[in-house]
Amino acid sequence: MCGIVGYAGRNAAAPVLIESLKKLEYRGYDSAGITVLGSGIETYKAVGKIINLESEIPKKLGGTVGIGHTRWATHGRPNTENAHPHNSGVNPEKISIVHNGIIENYMALKERLIGEGYQFKSETDTEVIAHLLHKHIYGKPDGKEAQCELLVGLREALKEIEGSYALGIISADEQGKLLLARKDSPLVIGLGKGENFAASDVTAFLNHTRDVIFVDDFETAVLSPSGVEIFDREGNLKEKKIEKIEWDFEAAEKAGYEHFMLKEIHEQVTAIHDTLAGKVSELEGAIYLNELNLSEDEIRKLSRVQILACGTSWHAGLLGKYLFEQLAGIHCDIDICSEYRYRNPVMNEGTLAIAITQSGETADTLAAVREIMSYNCPTLAITNVVGSTITREANSVLYTRAGPEIGVAATKTFSTQITLIYLLAVKFALVRGKLSHDYVKSFITEIRKVPGEIQQILNQKEAIKECAENFAHAKSYFFLGRHLNYPIALEGALKLKEISYVHAEGFAAGELKHGPIALLDEGTPVVAIATRGQTYEKMLSNIKEVKARDAVVIAVADSKDTEIGKYADIVLRVPQSDELLAPLLSIVVLQLLSYYTALARNCSIDKPRNLAKSVTVE
């Protein structure tokens, strides 16, 4: 998740762009940059916070049109070369662009453009758009004469791009204009008097105007100081509704949600979509994990996977254990990092270590990784933070593309971690001959449906809210799951504990009768994850055991399950899906249940007591 801004007005652009970028800093601050249209393209970039960029910019920088970007790295490390804007054209540069999104076919486009003489300065997917656009307008890398207008060239370039984008573009040959384009990434225009603004969200320009136009997918726009024109995919001028923003700054930063956690629960729709982007091909039944430094032969020779993680990431890892063993037939162990370091582990030949950590900075995880690397074991890190410590130590890194997570309780980073773990397990299974291409094709079809299915759950969140409010003052909560739903039960309990301070325990449902059932009494809420699958019938038996102790059963079940209502007191529904992927849906219900419980108990949701987002001490 990055932030883009743009300005076309009569005042100096640079201070407006810097002010706007500061407002978007919560979207990422690995690096930042601006371009203004002065006598030509003038670009300034810096690593780190916007304040670093500000000190690079000359005090009296001219130019009244410009673009800016604050980066949350996805392709390439956070350094000046990878910072936006990205430019194209040789002596002088002609085009400058900022981008939020992911270009899925950038490798193919990049190879083609290199073949045509374009030179790349960065590792980003975005630079491809700059050169592609230049090619459509100037014909060749050192072309000086525009062969068509910027807007015409843009429309042609967009036809070749697959992926998501919100783009801000300026050209040395079209003074006074700022162009925009959008597909699957947010983009909004602010209407001022003699000046117009653009940004990833309204917070960027709320100090200047509250009259906005939301840009929709496949639309392009041209902003000048005196006006805004918006075009559809075919280039026809469109009439758009002007909306008035009533939110204050704090509400706007959270996109109108009351808490970051709720916003981040909703962002799972795009976060999972982005994490899958460019990694799966339905047509070929293929999974591309190019960042994994293991050959197919090495994957075939693996005898064991050792997962290392803490907290929520450990729950993602536990799901991984089930998947690696069940799908790929690889023995898999999982350890809590703070234990692993001190238990003198026995190391087998052919072990791959997978460290899962959203922050990439958890002290226990880093120490466990160092321990296992001392046995010369190859390590793969799954993390959300480009450039974090783990990425500098592990042999391979797979990034979740969840964007910055501000709420202390992990939500979208958990679901994107498990998305990557599904891809890894299925890929390993394919390479090791345990699954066919046809199976993988249908798996890809199903996993691509998940973001839409999560949206359906979010659309029905009122039912979950009502349930949470009914039990908000329960002394204790229990979460039961079997098989793939067991890690989800553990994660559901952790979420509730963390943010609502209600005592909660997660159990493998079959374990209940071996002790924990003694804790149940009349009215204790027991959440039973009972989506259809190989352990469904057993789960029904466990639900009956719980009912016999007068506890209250809240079942999480498929939308088409007509049986569950006979046994459970309350049923929270998820869309009917592939059994393998149901955990990605059930967890959203449990996150919302925790969120609304904490809300009803008036807890500090985004910053729960005693907790830190990243635990950098032992």
Which residue in the shown chain puts its C-beta closest to ligand M6R? Answer: 311
Q: What is the C-alpha to C-alpha distance for residues 470 and 156, in angstroms, rounded to an integer?
A: 55
Contact call for residue 568 and ligand M6R (CB under 6 A): no
Binding residue for ligand M6R, selected from 358, 416, 500, 524, defined by CB under 6 A: 358
Instruction: Please work out, in degrees rounded to the nearest 5, the angle formed at the alpha carbon of residue 230 by the alpha carbons of 225 and 231.
Output: 140
Contact call for residue 357 and ligand M6R (CB under 6 A): yes
Cβ contact 356:308 at 8 Å: yes
Nearer to ligand M6R, 174 or 498 (CB): 498
Candidate list 240, 449, 547, 613, residue with the active-site label: 613
Q: What is the C-alpha to C-alpha distance for residues 311 and 614, in angstroms, rounded to an integer?
A: 11
Is position 613 annotated as part of the catalytic site?
Answer: yes
Cβ contact 477:521 at 8 Å: no
Binding residue for ligand M6R, selected from 70, 275, 306, 362, defined by CB under 6 A: 362
Per DSSP, 350 falls in state T
Nearer to ligand M6R, 312 or 542 (CB): 312
**Torsion, CA 225, CA 231, CA 236, CA 241, rounded to 10:** -90
Binding residue for ligand M6R, selected from 88, 200, 313, 591, defined by CB under 6 A: 313
Q: Candidates 53-61, 145-153, 272-280, 609-617 — which segment interacts with ligand M6R by CB under 6 A?
A: 609-617
Name residue, tokens 């293929």. 286
- Could you tell me how far CA 520 lies from the centroid of its own chain? 38
Nearer to ligand M6R, 212 or 334 (CB): 334
Q: What is the C-alpha to C-alpha distance for residues 475 and 428, in angstroms, rounded to an integer?
A: 44
Binding residue for ligand M6R, selected from 5, 245, 310, 323, defined by CB under 6 A: 310
**Shortest Å distance, C-beta 310 to ligand M6R:** 4
Contact call for residue 591 and ligand M6R (CB under 6 A): no
Q: Candidates 214-222, 304-312, 526-534, 580-588 — which segment interacts with ligand M6R by CB under 6 A?
A: 304-312
Nearer to ligand M6R, 456 or 614 (CB): 614
Q: Which helix (H) or strand (E) holds 558?
A: strand 552-558
Contact call for residue 359 and ligand M6R (CB under 6 A): yes
Contact call for residue 365 and ligand M6R (CB under 6 A): yes
Site map for ligand M6R, 486-505, x if CB under 6 A? ------------x-------
Token pair of 297, please?
A: 């032969």
Cβ contact 33:24 at 8 Å: no
Q: What is the C-alpha to C-alpha distance for residues 178 and 158, in angstroms, rounded to an integer?
A: 17
Q: Candidates 167-175, 209-217, 305-313, 510-518 — which segment interacts with ligand M6R by CB under 6 A?
A: 305-313
Candidate list 2, 377, 467, 603, residue with the active-site label: 2
| Three-state SS annotation for 192-241 | CCCCEEEECCHHHHCCCCCEEEECCCCCEEEEECCEEEEECCCCCEECCC
Q: What type of residue sits at position 213?
A: I
Is position 377 annotated as part of the catalytic site?
Answer: no
Name residue, tokens 């008035």. 244
Q: Candidates 69-77, 205-213, 352-360, 553-561 — which segment interacts with ligand M6R by CB under 6 A?
A: 352-360
Nearer to ligand M6R, 310 or 587 (CB): 310
Cβ contact 267:430 at 8 Å: no
| Three-state SS annotation for 449-465 | HHHHHHHHHHHCHHHHH
Instruction: Please work out, in degrees rounded to the nearest 5, the angle formed at the alpha carbon of residue 26 by the alpha carbons of 42 and 1.
Output: 75
**Shortest Å distance, C-beta 218 to ligand M6R:** 36
Q: Candidates 202-210, 370-378, 556-564, 607-615 — which segment interacts with ligand M6R by CB under 6 A?
A: 607-615
Binding residue for ligand M6R, selected from 312, 389, 396, 419, defined by CB under 6 A: 312
Nearer to ligand M6R, 408 or 581 (CB): 408
Residues across the chain? 618
Binding residue for ligand M6R, selected from 152, 251, 367, 615, defined by CB under 6 A: 615
Contact call for residue 215 and ligand M6R (CB under 6 A): no
Strand partners, 504: 477
**Shortest Å distance, C-beta 491 to ligand M6R:** 8
**Shortest Å distance, C-beta 409 to ligand M6R:** 4
**Shortest Å distance, C-beta 477 to ligand M6R:** 16
Q: What is the C-alpha to C-alpha distance for residues 471 and 600, in angstroms, rounded to an integer?
A: 10
Cβ contact 577:450 at 8 Å: yes
Q: What is the C-alpha to C-alpha distance for residues 296 and 280, in angstroms, rounded to an integer?
A: 17
Query: Which positions from 389 through 428 interact with ligand M6R, judged by CB under 6 A?
Result: 408-410
* Residues acting as catalytic residues: 2, 613
Residues at the site binding ligand M6R, with contacts judged by CB under 6 A: 310-313, 357-359, 362, 365, 408-410, 498, 611, 614-615
